[in-house]
Amino acid sequence: MARQRGRPVRQRRRVYRRRRSQRVSRAASDHKALRRTVPLLALVTAIVVAIEFVVVGLLPSMARDLRISLAAAGGLVSAFALSAALLGPLLTLAATRLQPRRSLAAVATIFGVGNLLAAAVPSHGLLLAVRIVEGAILPVFVSVGAGVIAILASPERQGRAIAQVNIGTIAGLVFAVPAGVALGTSADWRSVFAGLGVLALAGAVALAIGLPTVSTSCRPNVGKQATILRSPLVLGHLVLSATVFAAMFASYAYLAAILEIEAGYRGVQVAMLLMGFSAIGLIGNAIGGRVADRRPIEGTVAALLVVTFAVCAISVAGGHSWLFLPLLALWGAGHAAGFVLCQVRVMSAADEAPAFAMSLNIAACNLGIAVGAVTGGALIEVSGLRMLGVGTAVFAALAVSSAVIIQRIDQLRRAASKVQAGS
């Protein structure tokens, strides 16, 4: 009898040890895949972000070459952002049904082919169509890539891993914005488009070969993913992202003008300062990634307050004050931290559909960018660049109010969960 009673116990122990060994082995495999995936996604993200933003510096030369007005050329920027906001979430829902390696490689291929096509057949209509397509698939790339990180990384390391991928965004900005300013008057914009197109195709090949195959068995269907739109908490986080980016871009959209008109810098100096602004963002990105895993809402508010303080102080002190460059560095760090904190915060609020949540966040951020840039432009028309601090402060106040409401909603949700668990 003792032997018979002992067998089930030993069998259960063997099963437990085997399952624990499988979990440890799976965790080690995921960690190894994560270490390979993060730098690969960061590299291709840098190329994609460069394709998005290099146009800003190339607009004057593109307008001259295509014989269109500067305002019409500027439509290439707004069309990209509007397409990302309106079409990105729908395409992301469709892409989540595919293996991430295939969808990411396909998106990078479309970026490459689109840029090469625009360079080979330069016309305003074709360029506009290419920018609309590229804008629509940008959220797919960022969202599906973040979803892969969410699968491979442990919950306590997701923020840090996404921050490491976000280095690619910063690297793309470090290259694209200054390069666009430097090359805008001296280089053929078509060669810039073609070069980035070739890099995007190379990135597509690297993704197809190097990205690991991840399990999609636990991924919810389209209907279940769409249910996050009924969550007050998720909607609150999206409103917070929109107001945060409206606050940041009410001033950031006119940073080059601040450097030229307020501070008196010219040409290469402006390009170098823009590069330094983005490079200092690496510090803010690292800090934001660490804070995002523990206190994402508080971290978002803190980063925005840093940006608001820096912009308002520059507006008061002026561009010729000895405080200008330190304040510019503080602005750059807070700006980059805001990016990664908004990404992790929304993904954490909708962990059942992280890729779709990320695409909604990108849409909200692009809407915030558009509203902030328009508001900043209106303030400049009325009272000049010194008024940008007012616009940033107003949107920051709205963002802080949104953060307070989100925390209250979360408290009520937790209290209701405890009551249900107790009953």
* Architecture category of domain 224-423 in CATH: Up-down Bundle (1.20)
Q: Sort 83 into a burial class: Cβ within 10 Å, 0-12 / 13-18 / 19+.
A: buried
Residue 102 has pLDDT above 50, yes or no: yes
Spans of all domains in the chain: 36-213, 224-423
Ramachandran assignment for 353, one of left (phi > 0), alpha (psi -120 to 50 degrees), beta (any other):
beta
Question: Which pLDDT value is given to residue 405?
Answer: 93
> How sure is the predictor about 311, in pLDDT bands with cuts at 50, 70 and 90?
very high
Amino acid letter, 281: G
In this structure, what is the dihedral angle of CA atoms 84, 86, 88, 93, given to the nearest 10 degrees?
170
Cα gap 187→194, rounded to integer Å: 12
Spatial contact of 65 and 122, defined as CB atoms under 8 Å apart: yes
Q: For residue range 385-415, what is the model confidence (pLDDT) as tens digits?
A: 888 899 999 999 999 999 999 988 888 877 7
Tokens 């309106």 map to which residue? 86
Contacts of 120 (CB under 8 A, 6+ apart): 194
Question: Which pLDDT value is given to residue 133?
Answer: 95
What is the value of pTM for the model shown? 0.74
Q: For residue range 323-334, what is the model confidence (pLDDT) as tens digits?
A: 999 999 999 999
Return the higher-pLDDT residue of 222 and 24: 222
Query: 149-158, 191-200, 315-324: which range is least confident on average?
Result: 149-158
Contacts of 282 (CB under 8 A, 6+ apart): 167, 170, 336
> How sure is the predictor about 199, in pLDDT bands with cuts at 50, 70 and 90?
very high
- Tell me the CB-side half-sphere exposure of residue 121, using CA atoms within 13 A: 9
| Angle of the 324-349 helix axis to the 158-183 helix axis, nearest 10 | 130
Amino acid letter, 391: G
Cα gap 258→345, rounded to integer Å: 31
| Angle of the 232-252 helix axis to the 354-383 helix axis, nearest 10 | 40
Angle (nearest 5°) at CA 111 between 221 and 53: 105
Share of the chain above pLDDT 90, in %: 25
Q: For residue range 231-263, what is the model confidence (pLDDT) as tens digits?
A: 888 899 999 999 999 999 888 878 877 887 888
Cα gap 343→405, rounded to integer Å: 19
Mean pLDDT of the chain, nearest integer: 81
Q: Sort 6 into a burial class: Cβ within 10 Å, 0-12 / 13-18 / 19+.
A: exposed
> How sure is the predictor about 279, in pLDDT bands with cuts at 50, 70 and 90?
confident
The stretches of 211-267 forming alpha helices (DSSP H) are: 222-226, 232-252, 255-257
What is the fold, at CATH topology level, of the domain defined by 36-213?
Answer: Growth Hormone; Chain: A; (1.20.1250)
Contacts of 247 (CB under 8 A, 6+ apart): 304, 307, 308, 368, 372, 391, 392, 393, 394, 395, 396, 398, 399
Contacts of 140 (CB under 8 A, 6+ apart): 88, 91, 92, 95, 103, 107, 359
Cα gap 14→21, rounded to integer Å: 10
Do 36-213 and 224-423 have matching folds? yes
- Tell me the CB-side half-sphere exposure of residue 209, using CA atoms within 13 A: 6
